[in-house]
Amino acid sequence: MRDAAFHAFFEQHYAGLSRLAFLMTGETSVADDLAADALTEVWQHWDRVAAAGDPAAYARGIVANLTRNWIRRQGRARRRLRLLGVLGGDPDRVQPDVPAVLEVRRALLVLPHRRRACVVLRYAFDLSEQDVATILDISVGAVKSQTSRGAHQLAELLGDRQIIERVGGWRGE
């Protein structure tokens, strides 16, 4: 019974968890690994997670934490490589097939982790503010402010005045 319940959960949520990790990291293979790591963690605590009520929220929270840690490690590694003179220009300069999607992806990567997590969970996953607060273990007010600031920052980065108007205008935050 336990195995079947987890297997059904895995089948239903793996792709979404991987997509969340991709939107947070910008790396397909890393996203798959992070989703798998999150599901491993869920499996290890499955009885407790399933009893808590919303295993998907728990799994998203794990993905958010794993991506934050991955991003930190990448930043430290890049700084060390730059200090050694190994890393020159931007390695991600690939001619995009779909310029708008890649532009948004790059803009997302500029946002601070919590802001990016709020924007991605709210808009890409269409989760409620309460769900995002639960996943990230922050207050609903923090979700509101981080989402608003993230949307404004994305609009500025993308030069899209219509986005700014839709989210209430720039308040200088």
Q: How far apart, in whole angstroms, are the C-alpha atoms of residue 44 and residue 21?
A: 20
CB 85 within 8 A of CB 116: no
Q: What is the pLDDT of residues 109-157, one digit of tens each?
A: 899 999 999 998 888 888 899 989 988 999 999 999 999 999 889 888 8
Q: How far apart, in whole angstroms, are the C-alpha atoms of residue 49 and residue 57?
A: 10
CATH class of the domain at 94-173: mainly alpha
What DSSP assignment string belongs to 5-54? HHHHHHHHHHHHHHHHHHHHHS-HHHHHHHHHHHHHHHHHTHHHHHHHS-
> What residue segments make up the domains of the chain, in order of their start?
1-91, 94-173
Domains 1-91 and 94-173 share a fold: no
pTM score, whole prediction: 0.54
Instruction: Select the highest-mean-pLDDT range: 84-88, 95-99, 111-115.
Output: 111-115
Q: What is the pLDDT of residues 23-66, one digit of tens each?
A: 888 888 899 999 999 999 999 988 888 888 889 989 999 999 89
89 vs 20, more confident? 20
CB 95 within 8 A of CB 55: no
Taking domain 1-91, whether its CATH number is 1.10.1740 is answered by yes
The tokens for 48 are 């407790």
In the predicted structure, residue 93 carries a pLDDT above the cut 60? no
Residues with Cβ within 8 Å of residue 105, at least 6 apart in sequence: 23, 26
